[in-house]
Amino acid sequence: MYELKTEQVIPRPLDEVFAFFADASNLSRITPPWLDFRIVSGTPIRMEEGLLIDYRLKVHGIPLRWQSEITTWDPPRRFVDEQRKGPYKVWHHTHRFEAAENGTRVIDEVRYDVPGGPLIHRLIVKRDIAKIFRYRFQALEELFGSAESGTKSV
């Protein structure tokens, strides 16, 4: 099992930042264009525990389907999505939100496992995930601005 953790302070109030992440349609705004990410579930999507969301994307040009389930829904503090169908053996993504002195701290904690084991992880997946979360970090800065202190990327 592998882990990734990122933190970013967004210079906006907690309720506003959580509302952005609670709107599933915003996911495409913070996902790299090279993934050709699309939500195929009907919209609008009302986020709640037990919700299943279906996506299509491309990884290295290979079309994939992904289904995630919202397994924890605790506004405005956190939510968890877990892959039910998709490219990973395990994908468990905790999104946490905390009020910070200069805005809202967004904390992403991902536990995942990949087919192909450590070699595939080291050669491909680890680098891809880091690149995706770096893109997300930059996209959020472009959308909301930057709160300089307390911010770090992958």
* Residue 71: exposure state from Cβ atoms within 10 A (0-12, 13-18, ≥19): middle
Q: Is residue 116 part of a domain?
A: yes
Q: Is residue 97 part of a domain?
A: yes
Q: Is residue 70 part of a domain?
A: yes
Using left for φ > 0, alpha for ψ between -120 and 50, and beta otherwise, residue 72 falls in: beta
Give residue 90's domain range: 2-144
Q: Is residue 91 part of a domain?
A: yes
Query: What is the pLDDT at residue 148?
Result: 57
| CA 66 from centre of chain | 13
pLDDT at 152 over 90: no
> How far is it, in rounded angstroms, from Cα 101 to Cα 106?
13
Q: Is residue 154 part of a domain?
A: no
> How far is it, in rounded angstroms, from Cα 151 to Cα 54?
31
- Could you tell me the pLDDT band of residue 90, with boundaries at 50, 70 and 90? very high
Beta bridge partners of 103: 100
Q: Into how many domains does the chain fold?
A: 1
92-128 pLDDT, tens digit each? 999 999 999 999 999 999 999 999 999 999 999 999 9
Q: What is the pTM of this model?
A: 0.90
CATH of the domain at 32: 3.30.530.20
Query: What is the pLDDT at residue 43?
Result: 80
- Could you tell me the pLDDT band of residue 18, with boundaries at 50, 70 and 90? very high
Q: Is residue 65 part of a domain?
A: yes
Q: Is residue 153 part of a domain?
A: no
Q: Is residue 39 part of a domain?
A: yes
Q: Yes or no: say if 107 and 4 are a contact pair by the CB < 8 Å rule.
A: no
